[in-house]
Amino acid sequence: MANVTGKIVVTGGAGFIGSNLIHALLGDGWDVFVLDAIIKQVHPDGKWEKPRKVSFFHGDVRDHGIVGKCLDGADYIVHLAAETGVGQSSYEIARHVSVNELGTAVLLEEAAKNLKYIKGVILASSRAVYGEGRYICIKCGVVYPEGRGANDLSQGKWEPRCPKCGERVKPTASIEDQPLKPASIYGITKHNQEQLVAQFTKGFDVPSVALRFQNVYGPGQSLNNPYTGILSIFCTRIMAKNPVLIYEDGQEKRDFVYIEDVVESMRLVLKKGFSGFDVYNVGMGSGTPVLEVANILAEEFKTDVPVQVVGKYRIGDIRHAWGDIRKIQEKFGYKPKISVREGLKRFIAWVKEQPKPEDRYEVMEKEMVERGLLGKAP
């Protein structure tokens, strides 16, 4: 594999995925530049301990001036900076659209002034672009159900139904070229980010890749952000000795992928090289029920805090989601190495070393209730 290095700009490099990525990039010999606004929801004390060798630009990805300065002479860009609250994006619409879409637009405009150097862009996209995703109906074949309505959820009808015949359907992995039906403002912004980057590639002939990350977890994840990262929320509850609350019946599945595997996906893309524009799922390639993950977490945490299935639900949540990872496997040789149990063990070991975070779950829940976004089945 070629040993590609040079100047690499990581937007959002102080965040969870970014801070893990930059350590690996430094180790690979990259000249790492980070642009990050250090937003309060992720960094409550407004600080970031930057690694010594990193050049840090403290600023907003929507600010042409600072973005231009940071990008000057850059060979590659990894665009991670984003607002990431899936539920929150349904009422803080402007903030999510502005940071994610305008931010990408400004970044690309500034990159276009740097064409002499720039060799490629990697965008952090998300499973959220798929919405409810792909299911199999025994009568109708592959179907893409609509999101579940408040009516069904309030009666505890958790599973989506076939949009053609109304029968029960079986979830299956999402594939890159299936129809995209984002079920949240956040998902829409991620889809639009992909399209902006794809168009940039067409217009300027700069290669780009969008990686649709599944549920990433691991050391460095914000334990203070109650709006995102289900495993952080569970850990924060356990440390505060408050019960872990599981929505719906706990059988909803997600693709939990450990941070090291996600970092490796980006390193492989950089090392193997890419041309044109393409999208790839990055995950474990299988789904695990949320209740199972919560139980493993509680067991490995060795806590007596109860895990409670409460039948509450969030309007707009999808039921099952995991990504088919064969495409990135074939193209870049990506293969996740850390099992969910092993990843959770490592995550917990890190969590236990952190200052006890404030459990702000109830604040978040109150906001959702006030906006009519959280309900409870009888």
Residue 42 binds: one of ligand NAD, Zn ion, none (C-beta under 5 to 8 A by kind): ligand NAD
Question: Are the C-beta atoms of residues 237 and 301 closer than 8 Å to each other?
Answer: no
How big, in percent rounded to 5, are the helix, strand and coil portions of the chain? Answer: 35, 20, 45
Q: At what angle do helices 361-370 and 230-239 cross, to 10 degrees?
A: 120
287 lies in the binding site for ligand NAD (CB under 6 A):
no
Residue 10 binds: one of Zn ion, ligand NAD, none (C-beta under 5 to 8 A by kind): none
Which of 15, 199, 44, 33 is closest to 124 using CA atoms? 15
| Amino acid (1-letter code) at residue 48 | W
Instruction: List the one residue from 10, 36, 77, 324 that touches ligand NAD (CB under 6 A).
Output: 36
283 lies in the binding site for ligand NAD (CB under 6 A):
no
Q: Residue written as tokens 């039921």?
A: 319
Rounded Cα distance, 2 and 272, in Å: 7
162 lies in the binding site for Zn ion (CB under 5 A):
yes
Q: Please report, as residue ranges, which positions from 333 to 362 form the binding site for ligand NAD (by CB under 6 A).
A: none
Pairing of strands 208-213, 312-314: unpaired
Q: How far apart are the first and last CA of the chain?
A: 57
Instruction: List the one residue from 58, 139, 337, 376 that touches Zn ion (CB under 5 A).
Output: 139
Dihedral sign of CA atoms 303, 256, 347, 361 in order: negative
240 lies in the binding site for Zn ion (CB under 5 A):
no
How many chain residues interact with ligand NAD (CB under 6 A)? Answer: 28
Task: Using the minimum distance from each CB to ligand NAD, give the nearer residue, 90 or 222.
Answer: 222
For 65, residues 6+ apart whose C-beta sits below 8 A from its C-beta are 59
165 lies in the binding site for Zn ion (CB under 5 A):
yes
Rounded Cα distance, 134 and 214, in Å: 15
Q: Please report, as residue ranges, which positions from 121 to 150 form the binding site for ligand NAD (by CB under 6 A).
A: 124, 126
Instruction: List the one residue from 35, 137, 315, 340 that touches Zn ion (CB under 5 A).
Output: 137
Look up 76 and say whether it is catalytic: no
Catalytic hit among 76, 135, 186, 258: 186
Instruction: List the one residue from 38, 102, 105, 140 that touches Zn ion (CB under 5 A).
Output: 140
Instruction: List the one residue from 7, 33, 74, 84 that touches ligand NAD (CB under 6 A).
Output: 84
For 190, the enclosing helix (H) or strand (E) is helix 185-204
Q: Least distance to ligand NAD from the beta carbon of 104, Å? A: 10
Locate the DSSP E strands across 255-314: 256-258, 277-282, 288-289, 307-309, 312-314
For 314, residues 6+ apart whose C-beta sits below 8 A from its C-beta are 87, 247, 368, 373, 374
Task: Using the minimum distance from each CB to ligand NAD, give the nearer residue, 47 or 116.
Answer: 47
According to DSSP, residue 130 is labeled G
Residue 31 is encoded by which pair of tokens? 């000249």
Distances (CA, A) of 359 to 46, 91, 356: 19, 22, 9
88 lies in the binding site for ligand NAD (CB under 6 A):
no
Residues 205-244, mask of contacts with ligand NAD (x by CB under 6 A): --------x-xx-----x----------------------
Per CB under 5 A, the segment of 11-19, 123-131, 137-145, 219-227 that binds Zn ion is 137-145
Q: Least distance to Zn ion from the beta carbon of 320, Å? A: 17
Residue 222 binds: one of ligand NAD, Zn ion, none (C-beta under 5 to 8 A by kind): ligand NAD
Per CB under 6 A, the segment of 39-47, 329-337, 345-353, 356-364 that binds ligand NAD is 39-47
Question: Are the C-beta atoms of residues 36 and 12 closer than 8 Å to each other?
Answer: yes
Q: Give the active site residues.
A: 186
Binding site for ligand NAD (CB under 6 A): 12, 14-18, 36-39, 42-43, 60-62, 80-84, 99, 103, 124, 126, 213, 215-216, 222
Binding site for Zn ion (CB under 5 A): 137, 139-140, 162, 164-165, 167
